[in-house]
Structure 1
Amino acid sequence: MIAVNMRSAMGALTGVQRYAIEVFKRLDKESCRSVAPAEILGSMKGHLWEQCTLPKEVSNSSLLWSPGNVGPLRVRNQVVTIHDATTFDHPEWFDRKFSLWYRFLLPRLAKRVKGIITVSEDSKRRLAGHLGVSAEKIRVIYNGVSPELSPAEPDSIARLREKLGIKGEYFAYVGSLEPRKNLKTLIEAWRSVQPQLKDTELLIAGSAGHVFSGEGESECPEGCRFIGRLSDDDLPVLLSGARALAYPSLYEGFGLPPLEAMACGTRALVSDIPVLREVCGDEAIYFNPLDSASVANAILSVAEESEEQRRKAITSGRGRAAEFSWERSAHQHKEFFEEMREVQNG
C-alpha cells in the first residue's frame, strides 16, 4: 500500500496543490491511500504534524509519496516531489524562516529518501547541484494540463466579460503575486504600450502567498487592473477571451499557465528562461524578462498580428499543450513508485 502525504493539498489551490490533487485522483485507490491532518494547519503546526505524526500513520505502508516539496525525515521508504530549487537560488524571495527551514531540510531529506521526482529537466539540474545527490536519483515527470482547459464558448466569455466589466480586448496574467513573477516589469511594459492600445486592458489574476517576502501591488497605469484569484470555472474562460497571456516570470519549476493558455486557444508571451523554453517549445513568443521594452514589443507583436498568423499559432499551441496530460503524468508516477518498491524489496 502506498501512502500519499496530502498535507500540501489542503487550503487555497496553488500549482503544487493542483499537481498533488490531479495525480492522486488518477492513482489506483486499491493500492494507495491519502493521509492528511484532520484540519488545515498553520505552517509550524503543519511541519510538526508532518515530522512527528505522519511517520506513525504510515508505518504499515510499503512506500510514502510526499508531493509537496517536503516530507518526514524519519521515513526512508519515501518518494518526495521537489518542484524547484527556488529557496536555494533565491532565498531573498521568501519569508526568512521558511527559507531557512527548506534549506536545512531538503538536502537531508533528499539523501534519506528512496527517490525524488521533479517537474522539469531544468529543475533536475538545479536540484542535483544544491541537494548533493546524484542526478540518477531524480526522475523528471512533467505536469499535465487539465482536460477542462479548452476554448470556452462565446456565451461563457460574454458572461465573464460582463461580470468583470471588460469592455474591449484584453491581455491577461494568471499566477501568484510574488517577487519571482516579475509583475513590476510587466506593468512597466504595459505603461509604455498603453497609448497604442487605448481600448485594451491588462487583467492581473492571482493572489499573494503567505511564505513570500512582501511586495505590494505595483501602481497600475491606465488600462491595468488586479482582479484577484479566479475560480477553476472562470480561469479557462478568462484565458479563452484574452488576446494573449503575458507571463514575465523570472524563475519556474515548470510554468503551467502558458500551457493552460495554449490549451484554451490563446497566445502565450513568456520569459526567455530555460525552463519555459523546455515546456513551451517553439509555440510561445519569448521576451527578455529583465527588459520592459522587450516585453512591450512582444505585446505589440501579438496586438498587431494578422488573423491568419493568429489562427496558425493557436492551432500549433493547442497541439503543444496536448502533449502534456495528467493521465500520462500519473502513469509515469505509478511506474516510478513500482521501481522504488522493487529497490526496497531487492
Structure 2
Amino acid sequence: MAQASGIGTYIRGLLGAFSACRPASLTLTLITGKDDGVDGDWTRIPLSARFYSPSEQVAVPWAFRRSGAKLLHSPHYNLPVVLASRCVVTVHDLIHLKFPQFLPSRLAWIYAQSVFRQWIPRARAILTVSENTKKDLIETLGIPESKITVTPPGVPDGFHPLAPADYQPALESLKLPKGYFLYVGNLKEFKNVPRLLEAYRRLRQKKMYAPPMVFVGENFIPGFDRELENTPYVRWFPDLDRGALPAVYAGALALVFPSLYEGFGLPPLEAMACGTPVICSNRASLPEVVGDAALQVDPLSLDDLVNAMKRLCEDTALAGVLSAKGLQRAAQFTWDTTAAKTLDVYRRCS
C-alpha cells in the first residue's frame, strides 16, 4: 500500500520520521509487499494478498501473529476484522460513504459499509488526518471523540521552492511554458475536474491570452480524457513521475484545486511548500489545510472559479502575497509532529 498515491505518501512520511524519533524500546515490523517503495532498514514480513480482498483478511492476521507484535497499525481503513480490537487504524476520509455512486460495484459498496460501520468502531484507536474527517467520523458513524486523534501529514520530501535553473529543465522536457494553471490529483467526479475544465474554457472566452491549463493525474471519468485532449491550451499528464512534481509546481502560476471533498488535500500543501499560489475549494478539510494562504472559492460556482483564475492572471502582487503566506502555512505541517502524535497513541494503546 506504500505505493498508493496519498496513502503511500502518508506511509513513507511517517516511517521516515519514525526512523529519527522512534524510541529504542519500540520495535516496528512492516507487513508489506515486495516492492513497497519504503526506504529504511525495517524488519519486514512479506505479503502478497491483494488489497481489499478476502485473502488479505487471512494473510494480514497470519503475518501479525508471526511478528509477535502487540498492536497492528492499519494505515488505511481496510483493517482485518479479526484483529479490529488490536488495531490502530488511520481513516483518511469517508469518501466511500459520502460518494457511493462512484464505487465500482455493489460488492464494493457492501465492503465499505461493513468496514466503516462494523469494523472501524471496534478499533482500539482511530487516527485521522484532519479535523473535518474527525467530525465526519463522529457525525456519520457515532465514534466517540475520545477515540480519535488528528495527526495531519507533513510536507513530503522534495517539495520546496526551486530556482528557475532547477525547474526549467523539467519544464523543457515536458514542453511546458512557465506560468500555467495546474491541477494535481486523480481525475474523479468528486474532485470536480469537469467543472474546472469548463471554468478554464470560460476563462479563455473572457481572456484570450490566459495561460495554459495542465492536469496531472490518472483519469477515472469515462470520456473525460477525450475532453481534455480536445480542449485547446490544455495539457494532460496521466502518469507523470512523482519526482518531477516539485518542478511542475514551481513552474505554475497557481494550483487550482476545486475538490468537493477531501480527507486532507495534499496537493495544496505541496504547492504551498513550493511557493506556488493556491486556488482551492472552501469545502471539507481544505480550509484547515490552507488557512488564509489561498484563494478559497465555492467549488459549485463556475463564476467563482473563473474570477479567481482571472485575478491571478492579472494581479502579480496578489500572487506574491499568496506565495509568501503559503510557504509560512506549509511550514506548520511536519512529519516529526505526525510521528510524535502517532507514537503517543501507540503508547496509550499498548
Q: What TM-score results when the alignment is normalised by the length of structure 1? A: 0.89
Alignment partner, residue 84 of structure 1:
93
Alignment partner, residue 40 of structure 2:
none
**Percent identity (aligned):** 29
Secondary structure in 2 aligned to 1:65? strand
Structure 2 distance, partners of 1:40, 1:258, is 34
Alignment partner, residue 19 of structure 1:
10
Whether the 8 Å CA contact 1:187–1:218 is kept in 2: the answer is no
1:152 to 1:229, Cα distance in 2 relative to 1, 3 A: farther
How much has 1:42 moved relative to structure 2? 3.9
Unaligned runs of 5+ in 2: 34-45
The answer to whether structure 1 residue 35 and structure 2 residue 31 are counterparts is: yes
Describe the superposition over 1:93-120 as per-residue Cα deviations: whole angstroms up to 9, x where unpaired: 2212323211112222123210011111
Q: Which of 69, 73, 78 is 1:61 aligned to?
A: 69
Whether the 8 Å CA contact 2:312–2:318 is kept in 1: the answer is no
Structure 2 distance, partners of 1:267, 1:251, is 20
Alignment partner, residue 48 of structure 1:
54
The answer to whether structure 1 residue 296 and structure 2 residue 306 are counterparts is: yes
Unaligned runs of 5+ in 1: 1-7, 342-346
How much has 1:231 moved relative to structure 2? 1.8
Structure 2 distance, partners of 1:231, 1:133, is 38
Q: Which of 201, 207, 225 is 2:218 aligned to?
A: 207
1:53 to 1:323, Cα distance in 2 relative to 1, 3 A: same
Whether the 8 Å CA contact 2:161–2:273 is kept in 1: the answer is yes
How much has 1:309 moved relative to structure 2? 3.2
Q: Which amino acid aligns with 1:311?
A: G
Q: What TM-score results when the alignment is normalised by the length of structure 2? A: 0.88
Q: RMSD value over aligned CA atoms?
A: 1.9
Secondary structure in 1 aligned to 2:183? strand
Q: Which of 180, 186, 193 is 1:170 aligned to?
A: 180
Number of aligned positions between the proteins:
326
Q: Which amino acid aligns with 1:20?
A: I
Describe the superposition over 1:237-276 as per-residue Cα deviations: whole angstroms up to 9, x where unpaired: 0001100000010100001111110110110000111411
Alignment partner, residue 155 of structure 2:
145
Whether the 8 Å CA contact 1:17–1:68 is kept in 2: the answer is no
Alignment partner, residue 43 of structure 2:
none
Alignment partner, residue 344 of structure 1:
none
How much has 1:299 moved relative to structure 2? 0.3
Whether the 8 Å CA contact 2:219–2:225 is kept in 1: the answer is no
